[in-house]
Amino acid sequence: MRILLVEDEPDLGAAVEEHVRQAGHAVDWFQRLKLADAAMSTISYDALLLDLLLPDGRGLDFLRGLRARRDAIPVVILTARDQISDRIAGLSAGADDYLVKPFDLDELIARLNAVARRYFGTTSTAQQFGPVEIELEARLARLDGAEVELTAREWAVLEVLARRPNAIVSREQIEDALYAFEQEIESNAIEVYISRIRRKLGRDFVRTARGLGYRIRS
Amino acid sequence: MGYSLVSRLIWLLASAMAVLWLLGSVTAGMLTVFEVNERLDNALVEVAQRLLPATEDALSAPQVMDARAQQLVATLNPKALAYQIMAPNGWVALRSSNAPAVPFTPPVLQRGFRDVRHWRVYTQPAAAGGYLIEVAEPQMHRSEALRRAIGLAVLPLLLFLPLSWLMIRWAVKRSMRSLIRLQREIGQRDGSNLTCIPELPMPSELVPIHTAVNRLLDRLQRALVNERQFAANSAHELRTPLAAVQAQMQVLAAQLSSTAHADRAQRIVAQIKALSNLAEKLLQFSRAEAGLALSRERVDVVQLLDILMDDFRRLEGVDKRLALSWPGQGSFMVLADLDMLGIAVRNLLENAVRYGAADAPIEVCLDDEHNCLRVSNGSEVVPRDVLLTLKQPFQRGTMQGAGGGLGLAIVEKIMMQLGGTLELASPAAGRVDGFEVRLVFSARATQIIGAAGATVPANAG
């Protein structure tokens, strides 16, 4: 997934960015709402980790703005505000989850995966695509029950496809997922990774929609 | 329960009025008796003096004297008065028809009044011959006259007494109207309403009270807002660096996972988590100490439990153990501060998860019959002497766990401010072991709203 992190505390932001990246997601980290807003206008993020008190505004207002323009991106609020009323205000503003600082980084990843699962409509941790079984959170892929080794980049591409089963995923969306590993995406990089995935999980596992993108069928 | 100022004033004024009325009546009665006696005595003297010339003919022409006497007495009150003209030897020489044949009194040559049986008698010596004139009035007549006079003097006062009570009541109530309005306005102030009392028409004596109460309300409101703001800022200032340290240390621990320093790094992470937990408890304690639980709003405990229990269900091994029992199905509303009640309930759930037996269920039960929330967990029976110490800060009893020992002290402070109580029991109700905590809300602050939305008054617990 490509994650947008908005956190003004540098040490916390850096640690979260690193941990989320190590969990296999691409992360764009901003310390100002204005910059985050600009990034969201050009990049399609899969989830937003949002602090509430930022130097240039309140995270809740930013979130309300997102929901007002019908942006359904999954949002996890990261805040030091620990009261129930704060939590209710956050959830009412449209947050999908609410994590109070200090939090365990593994807990953060679990929450992130949970909201993404809900957002993409995959309630089960294990997904079946014909002979292929994928467990996104455990980062496991099996073909006919046998575990298949995938690289981090291959996982990034597979995850984008698996989170939207049956839907066509554009090249740009896949490029956004690969952004965590490569600042510059080679023109044929997508085809290379798709080809490797087909080789490991079956030729018909990933279908090409000419001129539109790729998809996998459940 | 205090006394009513209005009732007391009415009764005091009415009692004072009654005492004054009694004194006035007695005085009026005594004066009336004196005046009436004097008038009637004067009448006796007057009749005796009018009879005096008649006695001159007593010896020479008794018929003339009799005629004269009859004529004189007729002008007075022949029914009420009787007379005798008595010779010195006690022989009644002449008498009115209503006078007895025997003398009123033994013949004594002395002017004056005497009371004899049934008569009030005035004796007047005649001018000559040692004759005595005695004019008498029946005592019964005099008593009746006195009764009438006293009645006329006192009866109007007797009618005036209930009238004066009604007037006093009206006057006191009217005078106290502004005080009662001020009392009502002050009575409406509580944790949910600390607004200043509006300007009211009131006497100058009440203005300082009105001003002082408004000043106090303003100070209290500002103090609560400041405390809340301070608590929020403290939480932010403390939690953010702790979060940064913990996150950085977790990243470092992950990087050191394959080295000899990994264990130490993990221990530091655990210490930071314990420190964060302690900081959270101290913040909660300071919030409770600052009286933030005094404010009031309608809180649905069922919804509150949904949010809090959702957090705990994410913990490993807790989901299947944690269950809510609420026979009422609808809302369980209490008047409380949402955040502070949230802190109280969170502490109970934390304790149950932390100290409860890992293989026993954690039961959260809303009891509308006793207006309480019960949280019970599996454990060995906690001895009574240990149970008594658990509400004290930094007491963990015999239980083992990573808690700071502040949870129940925080909960008790919050419940005191909510007007409720915190009760501990071991064994848990209906079991031979286990530990149970009850948050008992006051019946006045509790309202049950049924699943269909119907409001059901809470039972007095």
Residue of B nearest to A53 (CA): B236
Question: In sequence order, what DSSP letters do the residues of B372-408 get, joined into one string?
Answer: EEEEEE--PPPPHHHHHHTTSTT--TT--SS--S-HH
Which domains are assigned to chain A? 2-119 (3.40.50.2300), 126-215 (1.10.10.10)
What mean pLDDT comes out for the span A34-45? 90
Q: Which two tokens stand for residue B199?
A: 């300007």
Amino acid letter at B133? I
Measured in degrees and rounded to the nearest 5, phi and psi for residue A150 equal -125, 145
CB contact under 8 A, A11 and B342: no
CB contacts < 8 Å between A and B, how many?
Answer: 80
Measured in degrees and rounded to the nearest 5, phi and psi for residue B316 equal -65, 130
Secondary structure letter of residue B329 according to DSSP: -
Q: Which of B229, B234, B236 to mutate: most A Cβ within 10 Å?
A: B236
pLDDT reported for residue B338: 92
Neighbours of B56 (CB within 10 A): 17
Contacts made by residues A152-159, CB under 8 angstroms, sequence distance 24+: A152/A24, A152/A181, A153/A178, A153/A181, A153/A193, A154/A193, A154/A196, A154/A197, A154/A200, A155/A24, A156/A24, A156/A26, A156/A180, A156/A181, A157/A190, A157/A193, A157/A194, A157/A197, A158/A134, A158/A197, A159/A1, A159/A24
- Cβ-in-10-Å burial (0-12, 13-18, 19+) of A138 comes to exposed
Nearest to A51 by CA among A76, A85, A34: A76
Residue of B nearest to A18 (CA): B251
Give the CA angle between residues A165, A168, A169 to the nearest 5°. 90
Whether the predicted pLDDT of A176 surpasses 50: yes
Single pTM value for the model:
0.64
Q: Which range, of A45-54, A89-98, B74-83, averages the lowest pLDDT?
A: B74-83
User: pLDDT tens-digit profile of B444-456?
Assistant: 766 666 544 444 4
Q: A90: pLDDT confidence band, cut at 50, 70 and 90?
A: very high
Whether the predicted pLDDT of B157 surpasses 90: no
Residue of A15, A53, A84 with shortest CB distance to B251: A15
CB contact under 8 A, A88 and B307: yes
Q: Please compute Rg for chain B using Cα positions.
A: 48
Residues of chain B with Cβ-Cβ distance to A96 below 8 Å are none
Q: Which CATH number fits domain B5-159: 3.40.50.150, 2.60.40.10, 3.40.630.10, 3.30.450.20?
A: 3.30.450.20
CB contact under 8 A, B247 and A19: yes
CB contact under 8 A, B251 and A53: no
**Which of residues B87 and B211 earns the better pLDDT score?**
B211
CATH of region B293-457: 3.30.565.10
User: pLDDT tens-digit profile of B223-257?
Assistant: 878 877 887 788 778 888 999 999 999 999 988 88
Q: A177: pLDDT confidence band, cut at 50, 70 and 90?
A: confident
Q: Which two tokens stand for residue B445?
A: 């602050």
Whether the predicted pLDDT of B337 surpasses 80: yes
Measured distance between the N- and C-terminal CA atoms of chain B, rounded to whole angstroms: 21
Give the CA angle between residues B280, B283, B286 to the nearest 5°. 150
Strand partners, A94: none
Whether the predicted pLDDT of B405 surpasses 60: yes
CB contact under 8 A, A19 and B280: no
What mean pLDDT comes out for the span B27-44? 87
Q: Which two tokens stand for residue B391?
A: 């509400």
Residues 6+ apart with CB under 8 A from B438: B372, B373, B374, B422, B423, B424, B425
User: pLDDT tens-digit profile of B104-119?
Assistant: 877 776 788 888 888 8
Q: Determine the Cα–Cα distance for residues B299 and B297; give it in Å rounded to an integer.
A: 6
Helix count and strand count (H, E) for chain B: 10, 14
Q: Determine the Cα–Cα distance for residues A29 and A45; give it in Å rounded to an integer.
A: 12
User: pLDDT tens-digit profile of B216-231?
Assistant: 999 988 887 887 788 7
**Which of residues B4 and A52 earns the better pLDDT score?**
A52
Helix count and strand count (H, E) for chain A: 8, 13
Nearest to A78 by CA among A15, A138, A7: A7
CB contact under 8 A, B339 and A14: no
**Which of residues A34 and A165 earns the better pLDDT score?**
A34
Q: B402: pLDDT confidence band, cut at 50, 70 and 90?
A: low
Look over chain B and give the mean of its residue pLDDT values, rounded to a whole number.
83
Query: Shortest Cα distance from B240 to chain A (angstroms)?
Result: 6
- Which span out of A163-167, B152-156, B196-200, B210-214 was modeled with the highest average pLDDT? B210-214
The length of chain A in residues reads 218
CB contact under 8 A, A110 and B314: yes
The answer to whether A92 faces chain B, any CB pair under 8 Å, is no
What mean pLDDT comes out for the span B275-288? 88
* Portion of chain A with pLDDT greater than 70, in percent: 94
Whether the predicted pLDDT of A19 surpasses 90: yes
pLDDT reported for residue B451: 47
Q: B344: pLDDT confidence band, cut at 50, 70 and 90?
A: very high
* Portion of chain B with pLDDT greater than 90, in percent: 17
What mean pLDDT comes out for the span A191-217? 87
Q: Determine the Cα–Cα distance for residues A218 and A205; give it in Å rounded to an integer.
A: 9
Residue of B250, B308, B339 with shortest CB distance to A85: B339
pLDDT reported for residue A49: 96
- Alpha helix ranges (H) inside B256-359: 262-289, 301-313, 338-355
User: pLDDT tens-digit profile of B166-177?
Assistant: 999 999 888 888
Question: In sequence order, what DSSP letters do the residues of B138-159 get, joined into one string?
Answer: EHHHHHHHHHHHHHHHHHHHHH
Nearest to A190 by CA among A205, A217, A207, A172: A172
Q: A124: pLDDT confidence band, cut at 50, 70 and 90?
A: low
Residue of A nearest to B277 (CA): A102
User: pLDDT tens-digit profile of B49-69?
Assistant: 887 776 666 556 667 766 766
pLDDT reported for residue A18: 93
Which B positions 303-342 lie with beta carbon below 8 A of chain A? 304, 307-308, 314, 338-339, 342
pLDDT reported for residue B58: 58
Residue of A nearest to B269 (CA): A104
Residues 6+ apart with CB under 8 A from B95: B82, B83, B84, B85, B101
How high is the ipTM of this complex? 0.74
CB contact under 8 A, A100 and B248: no
What mean pLDDT comes out for the span A181-195? 76
Neighbours of B160 (CB within 10 A): 14
